[in-house]
Structure 1
């Protein structure tokens, strides 16, 4: 037997703002809101373990300290990289500098709270639901 990653927890100051951002980026929906302010998002209409990794946006007042040791990589499903980059900027992403050379085939971005993620070049099929 082996394990599967089913959820990724991201500490954040404003789970509502990040839920809105990441739902738009990933075509996810809010699946659950906890009394403590945490929000779980993922593919609509799926059970845990189906349709990809869920994100749990966990309320925290701890400040972000430097470059994250873990980040998300995303690929567009229905457009080329330049069009997807513009869409992400329109949603509130911004360019981030983590020491890249500028020659990379990917773009390093930050979400509204400064969490880094990368937009890769390849187009992939949407996740099956």
Structure 2
């Protein structure tokens, strides 16, 4: 048994407006399964599929107070494409952001209209076939431990592990990467952006939850009686959702 990363969950004050921004930014389609929920996925996509990690935007009133611990890196194919993408994102409402990256990095840090940080990367061969999202990036204290947990929690393949960074990708070798990057910051609030994972069709959801807990998943300590999915935490306290098999 195993799960796989199928989407990221992003809180938003205005899910529809933020959804329109990200749909335009990525060239994806958008839909809604109900009030306060906007769903983004590639046009013609058959969910779930490892070629893309989708985005669910959920309306929440809480303000953003700290830098997100989970963000997106966007891929580009050339220096000209990087410059064009940055200009287009600015026209859509994105702004330049300073997260302490300095002036000599080849990527550009930006923030979407609600302040969620993301990076527009310079062209890198490793991301040539990922689609518009090069990687989902998670800040952490111990990339080795995060690679151990997420490599066993999912069927994604661990590609690189160092003291500073760990990299995983789907078992099929397609879609974006999942990266854990060592940072000095510590988690202080509920993550506004988190990972959602699903077991495969036919798997036992209760058995999968038990397996994840045995690997080191924890309990976020919130009332879950009104929801039909399970919220867990990884070994560094990052919330993630275990969805129904599909």
TM-score (norm 1): 0.88
Higher strand share: 2
Segments of 5+ residues of structure 1 without an aligned counterpart are none
What is the Cα deviation at residue 82 of structure 1?
Answer: 1.3
2:118 alignment partner in structure 1: 117
Residue by residue, what CA displacement relative to the aligned partner does 1:63-120 show, whole Å, maximum 9, x if unpaired? Answer: 1011111111001258521122111111111001111111111100000000000000
**What is residue 5 of structure 1 aligned with on the other side?**
5
Larger CA deviation: 15-24 vs 32-41 = 32-41
Aligned residue number for residue 35 of structure 2 = 36
| Structure 1 position 47 matched with structure 2 position 56 | no
Residue 98 of structure 1 corresponds to 99
Higher relative contact order (CA 8 A, sep 6+): 1
Q: TM-score, structure 2 length as denominator?
A: 0.48
**Matches of 2:45 and 2:77, distance apart in 1:** 19
Q: Give the number of equivalent residue pairs.
A: 127
Could you say what secondary structure the match of 1:39 adopts? strand
In the alignment, the residues of structure 1 paired with residue 66 and residue 100 of structure 2 have an alpha-carbon distance, to the nearest angstrom, of 12
Structure 1 residues 96 and 70, CA gap change in structure 2 (3 angstroms): same
Instruction: Give the gaps of 5 or more residues in structure 2.
Output: 132-173, 175-246
C-alpha separation in 2, matches of 1:105 and 1:20: 28
